[in-house]
Amino acid sequence: MRRPVVLIDSGSSVGESMFLAKIRQWLLHSIEERLIEKPLAGHKWTKPTCYILYPSDRHASRYGVYPCNEYDAWEIRPIRWRGRPLAKGGIMSTVANFEEGCFRLKIPAPWRNLNTKNLRAAYVYFNPDRREVAWIDRHHEKFRKVYNVPTLVLGHPLGYQFPVGALEWCSHLWAMETEFGNEVNRSTKPGFSKRLLWEKLWPSKRKIEPTVALAGHWGDLGTLRSPEMARDWIPPELEVVEFGGSEKCQDLEAATDCGYYVIASSRETVPFDAMIAAAKGSVLIAPNTPAFTWIPGRKILYPARDAGNGIISWNPPDVASLIFSKLKHGRSARNPKS
């Protein structure tokens, strides 16, 4: 990809924002390498640009970390006028309104400073929900023609199901899991899905530290987690690190640095925080459901049932006994996937 990139943050969780910040670093490096290898003929665009659109200026991952006047130039916010709620079509509809506002005010969005045919920004959205996919299905022609957005890349869709009709508006898919990407290619066309090696973006720990992070919701209102219940699963020789109901990115950074990352969950969306912890080399302790089984790395998966729509059910006494026993006898270190 040799063009400006706009990463769209749904604002669902701190984990998603941290994940996108890492993706941005990787994209900048990749674009820079391609520009050095093969410069764009006749263009002055030699410095790669990659922006992140946030849903508000009080975004969970940023609020309490930096004052509003200390954001970096590539962090675009707010994209809502005076804090109004998201439009009915979700953040994608709000992005369109933002583009339209820039057009009417004759103030180009920063990624359109060199808005030539070969340098129109590519939009990347990793976490669309059904409402937003339906909105894009209806309005994708407006994106392509009116707003000159020729490239719209979809990330790992929520629920791991490729949206019906997305071939009409999606340039290609960045799959986070190989089997899912291959399935999409078989059902669409070869090369449509590209594997994103997200798990390689963080340096992995070689040694498991005797520290445990009990995962909260990290600002994601779509999840239902019980860190206080998970406390009974931990043997006394392991240190439990407290984070409470924090929504700060530096706290999530510290939590995913722990040796064990424990999730006691009854409802899940896309667990970006678990993905980051696993990529860093933590032992992920989570329900044995599709939301977590696909994540590579060291895991202890406890028996649970996926009831659909993100709902997870499990037996607390049985799970507590199982996890306590495995951690007590150090089984995770010898056979972490058991």
Enumerate the domain spans of the chain.
5-200, 211-332
- Phi/psi region, residue 308 (left: phi>0; alpha: psi -120 to 50; beta: rest), is left
Mean pLDDT of 186-201: 90
Q: What is the pLDDT of residues 260-271, one digit of tens each?
A: 999 999 999 899
- pLDDT score of 229: 92
- pLDDT score of 196: 92
- pLDDT score of 114: 72
91-105 helix and 130-141 helix, angle to the nearest 10 degrees: 40
**Mean pLDDT (the chain, rounded):** 84
- What's the pLDDT band for 310 if we cut at 50, 70, 90? confident
Alpha-carbon span 211 to 193, nearest angstrom: 38
Query: Which residues are registered as beta bridge partners of 214?
Result: 262
**Top mean-pLDDT range of 30-44, 157-171, 248-262:** 248-262
Residue 302 confidence (pLDDT) above 70: yes
Residue ranges in the chain assigned as alpha helix (H): 14-37, 91-105, 130-141, 178-187, 227-230, 249-255, 272-280, 290-293, 316-328, 331-334
Residue 142 confidence (pLDDT) above 90: no
Q: What's the chain's Rg over C-alpha atoms?
A: 21
CB < 8 Å & 24+ apart, contacts of 196-200: 196/155, 198/19, 198/22, 198/23, 198/275, 198/279, 199/275, 199/278, 199/279, 199/296, 199/297, 200/279
- pLDDT score of 338: 42
Q: What is the pLDDT of residues 260-300, one digit of tens each?
A: 999 999 999 899 999 999 999 999 999 999 999 999 999 99
Q: What is the pLDDT of residues 75-129, one digit of tens each?
A: 887 666 666 777 778 888 888 888 888 888 888 888 887 767 677 888 999 988 8
Q: Supply 253's token pair.
A: 């950074």
Q: What is the pLDDT of residues 43-88, one digit of tens each?
A: 666 677 888 888 766 555 554 444 445 567 788 876 666 667 777 7
- pLDDT score of 243: 83
| Residue 303 DSSP symbol | P
- pLDDT score of 246: 81
Q: Are the C-beta atoms of 49 and 93 separated by less than 8 Å? A: no
- pLDDT score of 63: 47
